Structure 1
Amino acid sequence: MAGFFGFFDYTKPGPGVPEDLPPKSKFIVFFEVLARKFWKLCWLNILYFLVSLPILVILYFVVGSYLIPVIESATKGVQNLKDIQTVQSFLINAISLLLLSGFMVFGIGPTTAGFTYIVRNFAREEHAWVTSDFFEHLRKNIKEGFITFVTDLLVIFLFSVAIRFYSYQSIKYPSVGIIKYFLIFTFIVYVMMHIYIYPMMVTYKLKVRHIYKNAFIFTVIKLPHTIGMFLLMVIVWIVPFLLLLTTGFLLVLLLYPLIWVSILGLMQNFYTNYVFGEYLNPQKQENQIESVDSDKKEDNQL
């Protein structure tokens, strides 16, 4: 007799899941996945940070060179601070770490592709080997990731120069300010496109120009949702930095290399999986996907 008078019989099948049980909301599923995969997400975050370290070091000095004159001018003439240089150094380092984590979230090339593949699978509740799959998909997307990263750097440089130029010009000619605000709006749209760029890169076989084109299309047709997701990610992104400013506890910035980027990546891919599932038929996406705007003239792709 299995068990004891029918009790403690582990060979007996359970009741199972009722067929008419309503599906859980994505909000609940997100936190279930986060709890279930927490330690894997931590390791993924650390791995992503370590592999990206050479790029991050270069970006640190580039970002710092832009921040130094800004912070020095902002703190100039302040008499209350006992050690202005210490405060300036603290702000430069803290803001640099904040911005570097932002680069990691929105993309720094092939390493972001490897990172995105893992969090995309976790968001789909599919299996992924963190270390091996990270490096495998880093290699698979090395060309597309490198081109995307170089393109991003060029766009950031050109927009920063153009916005600065028209900001100075608007002082003399106020009407020129319209161009400045248009450039700022365009740049924000470009940044929001990155919500879709890397998830699309690791999901579909597309050329870089088609990835950018599709990302722009999704940004436009899902604009309210994209703006909402972008603002939510920005709010979550700056939480450790705000904790630093309110508590002065420097170690909260360790959240960025330990777990915070993975949480943001999981949020992003929960959203993009929903969008791709809504607009793209997965049964037709084995080798290439059709254009979202039915453009049949460009290699039957986006």
Structure 2
Amino acid sequence: MPALPETMTAIGFEAPGGPDVLQATTRPVPKPGPGEILVAVAAAGINRPDVLQRLGGYAPPPGASDIPGLEIAGTVVALGDGARRFALGDQVCGLVAGGGYAQYAVVHESNALPVPAGLSLLEAAAIPETYFTVWTNVFQRGALKSGESFMVHGGTSGIGTTAIQLARAFGAMVIATAGSAEKCAACRELGAEHAINYREQDFVAVAKQATGGRGVDLILDMVGGDYIGRNYEAAAESGRIVQIAFLNGPKAEVDFRRLMMKRLTHTGSTLRPRTITEKAAIAAELEARVWPLLAQGRCKPVIHQTFPLARAAEAHRLMESNTHIGKIVLTV
């Protein structure tokens, strides 16, 4: 491997604000610690938490880089002490707690995975954050089983497009909500049997109709707000609701009698603050159960648009417009 430079280009910001606060800066190339690998980043995915961090509402966990970016793909160029899972020159994708918007990033080897067969580094960069999130929330916490019904709000987001494909691949009947006819068509193309335009239809009524009146077994919600009570209405008896974000706000007035009468389970999680060991367990299950589906083409990251690293501000503007279908990726 050629000698590594001392410095690199990264995207940072001095104070919270709109997309234009994102600026290219020069930073030292990070050094991998014990069990870590240094990756020459080829591409980095953009996610909603990056926007929240830029706005000042989602600080990196202690010890994490202040550079935005939670997922990367690239080539291993250095190994920390004890790192043996990958060799120099291997192509990997990985989940990082920060530091993705840069030419180089460190990731713990247990939180990295080989690029799935048949996928490019660009495609691989769009996998970790959404696939880790969907796997842990839909299949680990939500315990989705074959033959059950599953509803995801925000069906054309990175999370939504991933959840639709994985739920279908594992035998669930999928219902998705989205905000336009074009987005609903994209949900159906990805495998949703029912796509609900929430601007024109009541998702509670349509979900009940789609399930023969019994309601939905599992709901993945990133909206919050008044959706919380409506999810309770849409859920089946003994149904589960998993909360992963609050685009409409974290507070709501809810009639909890539905929770009791239907014996519902309402849980939730965040991914970024979880330990390396917890993320490693998710990675191991993904490699065993989902990587074969990616290699077979049964699931695939949906990429809406790419931007060069220096145009990260434009990429954030696109994400905030909510017009995209699938992932937005920075190329490095």
Which has more radius of gyration? Answer: 1
The TM-score by the shorter chain falls in which range?
A: under 0.3
Richer in helix (by share) = 1
Richer in strand (by share) = 2
Tell me which of the two structures has the higher relative contact order, counting C-alpha pairs closer than 8 angstroms and 6 or more residues apart: 1
TM-score (norm 1): 0.27
